[in-house]
Amino acid sequence: MKPDWDKLMKNWNKSKRFATGLIADVDCTSDTGKPLCDRMGVKGFPSIKWGDPSALEDYEGGRSYDELKKFAFANVKPLCGPSTLDLCDEEKKQEIIALQALPAEELSANIEEKQSALKETESNFEASVKKLQEQYEQLQKDKEAKVAEIKASGLGLMLKVQAAANKASEKKDEL
């Protein structure tokens, strides 16, 4: 993916489209990049984020050059927001205006509530995945034990007897 991303970044940033949005990369393992990646919620590599820098979204599309380019042309552009109200539909404008009218403390509390809900959702998901993993491992052990039990109960010998009987039957048929 890296060569395709580098090609997209190079072609985008040397074109007129650069004026409408930035395509860049950050080394999340470096001392300078790690704080930014932590703040943006980067959890794995490679990660692609897009949108308003204050509220980046995870990119879930294809990773080839053509897929990345198609997405960039459709989505990397100025978006509706407090500083670009002219790009918003009437409903979104009213929502932004209402949020701007909130006292800073209330807005911060609302943000904290939503972020807490996101963390709780993620935590619940991880706990459920852990339980599923434990259940899977137990099922795997149970299956392996049952297979071993069945094989130890004479299956191998039965198969040998059957094969020998079939071979004997084939020899009789040849005569």
pLDDT band (50, 70, 90) for residue 175: low
- pLDDT of res. 120: 96
- pLDDT higher than 90, residue 137: yes
- Dump the DSSP string for the chain: -HHHHHHHHHHHHTSGGGGT-------TTSTTTHHHHHHHT--SSS--EES-TTS-EE--S--SHHHHHHHHHHH-S--SSTT-GGGS-HHHHHHHHHHHHS-HHHHHHHHHHHHHHHHHHHHHHHHHHHHHHHHHHHHHHHHHHHHHHHIIIIIHHHHHHHHHHHHHHHHHHH-
The pTM of this model reads 0.58
21-78 pLDDT, tens digit per residue, is 778 888 888 898 888 888 888 887 788 888 877 788 888 888 899 998 898 888 888 8
